[in-house]
Amino acid sequence: MNDWTIEGHICSKHARRRMQQRGIKMETVEFVLRHGDRQEYVGRDTSSIYLSKKMIGRLSRSKMIRPSAIEKASKIVVLLAEEMIVT
């Protein structure tokens, strides 16, 4: 399988496997990386990125993004380590 790149980040084999197991599409991970406004250090050069409740509300009120896309992305936390998506 070729390297996947999402929003400029290489997606590890582990992350690809987890996405497939959980039915998470690349577009959803891309959405979180693009709109995620919360980032927290979780250890070993790894950070989590996700949408805050405030951002979810803002995106919902904008009416520019499908509610289903916001709902899916609101349940996802992306872990990045050195610019690589790890899970």
Condensed to tens digits (0 to 9), the pLDDT of residues 28-65 reads 999 999 999 999 999 889 999 999 999 999 999 998 88
DSSP characters over 16-49: HHHHHHHT--HHHHHHHHHH--EEEEEETTEEEE
Say how far apart CA 51 and CA 4 lie, in whole Å: 22
In which element (H, E) is residue 85 found?
Answer: strand 84-85
pLDDT surpasses 50 at 71:
yes
pLDDT confidence tier of residue 14, bands split at 50, 70 and 90: very high
Q: What's residue 1's pLDDT? A: 45
pTM for the model: 0.86
